[in-house]
């Protein structure tokens, strides 16, 4: 078995999908998890990107069906988490409007991140290496601060925190896991980026979100494809078992092998 075949099998990606079937499977998965956990609903951070938009659509379908079936209200809480001024936050609100989310909240993380960065830089000074935190380090602080806020909200509302991780992120280790904050469930995990787009189109994600460049929002101008040096088209082709340019294949597989710790369970002894 080739490394490509091993990766596809491990991540569970299909060579092609039926969008309606995949939506149904993932909505049922979310409903089952909420019931089993005795939770009152789902929390999804809506960044304004396509992944969180699709997850939000699935969450809303799941909680609407749970409410109709049980006779009690289950909620999908949409959380917007800008750092200072977010130029595309209107896309987050457009997603919430498209799926008729009744429960939304905006939590700006800038002040919290600033305080954490100041404490880290104080630590550097104490250690005899005074300097500013790195761009990547601050980007990770932003991601983790967002997760702290999500779990604080989820705890008091008894909600399940939903992640947006999918196979095209998992193969490169470019996704939320353990040190980045973790999540409770990942309903997109066996889809590649192309397949996420298929679900987005079927669910009715706004066009402004559907066609925008994917970004984790770690710093101004950051995009996934520029940071990784691999297009999502090549990434998706690879995960569907197709042949791609050898140099790109090599780079993708190097990302995979180097980031095993991101996919593995927390080790112990």
Residue pLDDT, tens place only, 18-77:
999 999 999 999 999 999 999 999 999 999 999 999 999 999 999 999 999 999 999 999
**pLDDT (0 to 100) of residue 217:** 55
Structure-token match 């596809």, residue found: 8
- Is the CA virtual torsion 148, 154, 160, 162 positive or negative? negative
The CATH code that applies to domain 3-108+144-263 is: 3.40.50.620
Closest CA to 239 of 156, 147, 171: 171
Q: Which of 22, 91, 165, 169 is catalytic?
A: 169
Q: How far apart are CA 247 and CA 265, in angstroms?
A: 30
**Would you state the structure tokens that stand for residue 133, as one six-digit string?**
């935190």
Angle between helices 50-70 and 89-98 (to 10 degrees): 30
Query: Residue 207 burial by CB count (10 A; 0-12/13-18/19+): exposed, middle or buried?
Result: exposed
Query: Can 18 be counted among the known catalytic residues?
Result: no
pLDDT digits (tens, 9 = 90+) for 77-119: 999 999 999 988 999 999 999 999 999 999 999 999 999 999 9
- 33-69: burial string, b at 16+ Cβ within 10 Å, e else: bbeeeebbbbbbbbbbbbbbbbbbbbbbbbbeebeee
**Rounded (10°) CA dihedral 16, 18, 19, 23:** -110
**pLDDT (0 to 100) of residue 180:** 61
What does DSSP say about strands 75-80 and 103-106: parallel, antiparallel, or unpaired?
parallel
Q: Which of 51, 91, 165, 184 is catalytic?
A: 51
**Residue 120 reports pLDDT greater than 70:** yes
Cα Rg of the chain (Å, integer): 19
- Domain spans in the chain, listed from the N-terminal domain onward: 3-108+144-263
Task: Specify the 3-state DSSP secondary structure of 185.
Answer: strand
**pLDDT (0 to 100) of residue 263:** 84
Query: Can 169 be counted among the known catalytic residues?
Result: yes
Q: What is the DSSP string of 238-254?
A: HHTT----HHHHHHHHH
Q: In what order do the strands lie in the sheet with 159-162?
A: 103-106, 75-80, 41-45, 159-162
Q: How wide is the angle at C-alpha 190 spanned by C-alphas 186 and 196, nearest 5°?
A: 85
**Residue 121 reports pLDDT greater than 60:** yes
pLDDT band at 259 (very low <50, low <70, confident <90, very high): confident
Closest CA to 33 of 78, 73, 72, 63: 63
**Residue 171 reports pLDDT greater than 60:** yes
| Residues 147 and 180 sit within 8 Å (Cβ to Cβ) | yes
User: The whole model's pTM is what?
Assistant: 0.92
| Residues 136 and 218 sit within 8 Å (Cβ to Cβ) | yes
Q: How wide is the angle at C-alpha 138 spanned by C-alphas 136 and 143, nearest 5°?
A: 95
Give, in order, the Cα–Cα distances in Å from 149 to each of 14, 30, 108, 161, 262: 34, 22, 10, 11, 22
């Amino acid at each position: 078995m080739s490394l490509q075949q091993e990766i596809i099998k491990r991540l569970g990606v299909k060579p092609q999908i039926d969008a309606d079937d995949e939506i149904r499977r993932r909505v049922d998965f979310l409903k089952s998890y909420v019931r089993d956990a005795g939770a009152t609903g789902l929390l999804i951070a809506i960044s304004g990107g396509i992944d969180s938009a699709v997850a939000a659509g699935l969450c809303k379908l799941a909680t609407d069906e749970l409410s109709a079936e049980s006779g009690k209200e289950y909620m999908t809480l949409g959380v917007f988490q800008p750092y200072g001024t977010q130029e595309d936050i209107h896309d987050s609100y457009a997603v919430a409007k498209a799926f008729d989310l009744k429960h939304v909240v905006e939590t700006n993380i800038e002040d919290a991140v600033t305080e954490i960065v100041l404490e880290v830089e104080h630590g550097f000074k104490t250690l005899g290496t005074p300097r500013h935190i790195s761009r990547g380090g601050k980007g990770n602080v932003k991601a983790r601060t967002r997760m702290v806020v999500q779990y604080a909200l989820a705890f008091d509302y008894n909600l399940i925190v939903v992640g947006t991780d999918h196979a095209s992120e998992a193969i490169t280790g470019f996704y939320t896991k353990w040190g980045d904050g973790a999540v409770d469930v990942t309903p997109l995990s066996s889809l590649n980026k192309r397949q996420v787009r298929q679900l987005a189109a079927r669910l009715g994600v706004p066009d402004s979100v559907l066609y925008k460049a994917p970004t984790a929002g770690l710093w101004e101008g950051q995009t996934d494809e520029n940071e990784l040096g691999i297009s999502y088209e090549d990434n998706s082709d690879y995960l569907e078992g197709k042949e791609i340019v050898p140099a790109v294949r090599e780079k993708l597989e190097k990302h995979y092998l180097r980031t095993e710790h991101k996919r593995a369970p927390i080790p112990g002894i």
